[in-house]
Amino acid sequence: MSTDKDLLPVDPHNEPGHLPIADIPHTPRVTDTDPKAARRAERQVASMFLLSMVFVVLFVVAFVTIDKSAVVYIPVLGVVGASQIALGFTFGMAILLIGTGAIQWAKKLMPDVEVVQERHSMASTPKEDEEAKADYERGKEESGFARYTIIRRTLIGALALFPIPLVIMLRDLWQTPPGENPVELLSTTAWRDGLRIVPDTGETTGEFVKGIRPEDIPVGGLVSALPIDIMEIQKAEHNLNARGKAAIILVRMDPSEIRSQQGEGWDYQGILAYSKICTHVGCPIALYEHRTHHLLCPCHQSTFDLADSGDVIFGPAARRMPQLPIGVDEEGFLVAKSDFQQPVGPSFWERG
Ligand code: FES
């Protein structure tokens, strides 16, 4: 560990030959010998800090005055938001100028003396070197890495190709499939009139139970659910999105506590069905506080009031949770009365 004493500046002229750095002749900077150059450097640094302040003021002006929906055309970038460009440029310049000024200050005006910090030797002893080599050779031999040529080569090939799926998946994050409209994609789900609602048991093969009866859900309870034919749809269409888009939660409350719904009579005896996918960026939600009827998204804390049409009462979500109209069939099982009446899932498409 270094001490203050270790960091004391060493004047090479006073302690010649004391440490290796003392052998390097000290070359004074222009600003050390020329007072005019020093004052010029001082003005340069001060100008950068001043300019930085100006850019902060411009940032505030741009934030207040530029319409958030205004766009500009910039070669190479294309059409971009005027506000984002102005804010990014002014804030970036403010930071850059502080950094550049600080570097200039340190290089030209701060005391220019060599500082020596003594360190203990970090080198291993010859004995430790030998032991490490022996360990490496033993590991190589025991793993068979050198002996099994085919395994070694295929492993190297597999590791070399391993990043490709990651790149492809990342590419998928910001692209809608060609020719498809995100609003249309999210506006149609597997739900339709008369389709039975079944509990989501996490099964991806096999069969669901027959359905859910209203009496299966106590007041204050929550059940994650799906359409009964979702597995056939997935198999037929090879479409995993169908399951995500159709996922719902059923909650039950005293009918007198329901303040509003997205449609007349969309509940069944106080049982309400909402999409399970957050309208912010699409996390699945099932954190329900039955006394307040609030549904809390664990990702960014958006909170929806399920007793009041699923409205957003807190957080970054911009749209309420889509509600699914429900009833019962002739056998007394809960069913959907139609598809959702608005797109489910994240609302990134609204920004377009
Ligand atoms: S995904 Fe729900 S709040 Fe962000």
Q: Are 254 and 225 in contact (CB under 8 A)?
A: no
122 domain-assigned: no
133 domain-assigned: no
Both 195 and 314 in a single domain? yes
Q: Which of 277, 287, 299 to mutate to test the pocket of ligand 1 (most atoms within 8 A of CB)?
A: 299
Helix (H, G, I), strand (E, B) or coil at 346: coil
User: What is the longest distance spanned by two Cα atoms in the chain?
Assistant: 102
Q: Which of 302, 313, 319, 348 to mutate to test the pocket of ligand 1 (most atoms within 8 A of CB)?
A: 302
159 domain-assigned: no
282 domain-assigned: yes
Both 96 and 202 in a single domain? no
305 domain-assigned: yes
Which residues approach ligand 1 with their CB closer than 6 A? Answer: 278, 280-283, 297, 299-300, 302, 315-317
If you measure from the C-alpha of residue 89 to the centroid of ligand 1, how many angstroms do you get, rounded to a whole number? 29
Both 251 and 336 in a single domain? yes
- Quote the pLDDT of residue 287: 94
Closest ligand 1 atom to residue 316 Cα is 3
42/39 Cα distance (integer angstroms): 5
If you measure from the C-alpha of residue 92 to the centroid of ligand 1, how many angstroms do you get, rounded to a whole number? 29
Both 330 and 217 in a single domain? yes
Question: What integer is the mean pLDDT of 76-85?
Answer: 76
294/305 Cα distance (integer angstroms): 5
Domain stop point among 48, 82, 108: 108
If you measure from the C-alpha of residue 216 to the centroid of ligand 1, how many angstroms do you get, rounded to a whole number? 29
Cα dist from 292 to 181, 287, 296, 327, 333, whole Å:
37, 12, 11, 24, 27
142 domain-assigned: no
Domain stop point among 80, 108, 136: 108
Q: Are 273 and 321 in contact (CB under 8 A)?
A: no
Closest ligand 1 atom to residue 281 Cα is 1
If you measure from the C-alpha of residue 286 to the centroid of ligand 1, how many angstroms do you get, rounded to a whole number? 12
If you measure from the C-alpha of residue 316 to the centroid of ligand 1, how many angstroms do you get, rounded to a whole number? 7
Domain stop point among 60, 90, 108: 108
Both 345 and 249 in a single domain? yes
Show the domain range for 74: 20-108
Helix (H, G, I), strand (E, B) or coil at 254: coil
Cα 91 from chain centre: 22
Both 195 and 86 in a single domain? no
212/222 Cα distance (integer angstroms): 12
| Dihedral angle sign, alpha carbons of residues 144, 146, 152, 156 | positive
Domain count across the chain: 2
Per the DSSP assignment, residues forming a β-bridge with 227 are: 197
- Cβ partners under 8 Å of residue 72, min gap 6: 79, 80, 82, 85
Instruction: Give the model's confidence band at 174: pLDDT under 50 very low, under 70 low, under 90 confident, else very high.
Output: low
Both 235 and 93 in a single domain? no
- What are the tokens at 66? 């530029």
CATH number of the domain encompassing residue 256: 2.102.10.10
pLDDT value at 159 more than 90: no
Both 314 and 192 in a single domain? yes
**pLDDT tens sequence across 94-116:** 989 999 999 988 888 887 877 77
Both 316 and 212 in a single domain? yes
Both 55 and 194 in a single domain? no
Question: What integer is the mean pLDDT of 232-259?
Answer: 84
Both 342 and 193 in a single domain? yes
If you measure from the C-alpha of residue 352 to the centroid of ligand 1, how many angstroms do you get, rounded to a whole number? 19
149 domain-assigned: no
Closest ligand 1 atom to residue 283 Cα is 1
pLDDT value at 242 more than 50: yes
203 domain-assigned: yes
Q: HSE-up of 13 (CA within 13 Å, CB side)?
A: 4
pLDDT value at 77 more than 90: no
Helix (H, G, I), strand (E, B) or coil at 313: strand
- What are the tokens at 313? 């009462």
Both 220 and 318 in a single domain? yes
